[in-house]
Amino acid sequence: MRVLLATRNEKKLAELDRILATAGLDVPLVGLAAVPSYVELPETGLTFAENALGKAREGAAHSGLATVADDSGLAVDALHGMPGVFSARWAGRQGDDLANLELVLAQVADVPDEHRGAAFVCAAALVLPDGREWTVHGEMRGTLVRAPRGTHGFGYDPIFVADGHDRTNAELLPAEKDAISHRGKAFRRLAAILANLG
């Protein structure tokens, strides 16, 4: 069974591939670049789960493959949970990681260290061509540092330190991050579902 990850983000594709392999699941994984193109609907859901399910349903319908999609982002306590579902376009342009990160840092610049709590949140969905679907969640709590550190990862990783750690997500090796990340937790739950499909 081939599985489509409904993303054009090669880093996410590599991340899911690592997580599934670590979970002992050997399934061929492809991204959107490997299937006939279709018009991707904008993410209009107000929750991570709505957006993940929408993308997974769309991918399964157009490709005929079991499709995994996720929506994830950063929820900052001092910003009342924002940027949340708007994380990838917080600064106004989709996928401008540096601009998004700099805007969040500016918005919490005067917030004392003890109130700089945040969480990475992930909703991941699996939709089969026969209409069966599952949604799982993962969360990683932590705090925001005042300046980016590290060269691994992507998005807000350089400014986020997970609880119990002293390095940012961008300072962790990929396998270290996968073991504790919101996406790692959610994708391992999906891996268990995929394994039981036989």
Which residues, other chains included, contact 51 with Cβ-Cβ below 8 Å and sequence gap of 6+?
43, 44, 45, 71, 85, 123
In this structure, what CATH number is given to the domain that contains residue 74?
3.90.950.10
Instruction: Give tens-digit pLDDT for 123-165.
Output: 999 999 999 999 999 999 999 999 999 999 889 999 999 999 9
DSSP 81: T
Number of structural domains the chain divides into: 1
**Among all chains, which residue has been given the structure tokens 């039981």?**
196
Give me the domain span that covers residue 43: 3-197
Among the listed residues 17, 26, 70, 71, the single catalytic one is: 71
Instruction: Give tens-digit pLDDT for 72-111.
Output: 999 999 999 999 999 999 999 877 899 999 999 999 999 9
Omega of the bond prior to 83 within 30 degrees of 0, cis? yes
Supply the pLDDT for residue 198. Answer: 59
User: Is residue 71 among the annotated active site residues?
Assistant: yes
Instruction: Give tens-digit pLDDT for 8-44.
Output: 888 888 888 888 888 888 888 999 999 999 999 888 8
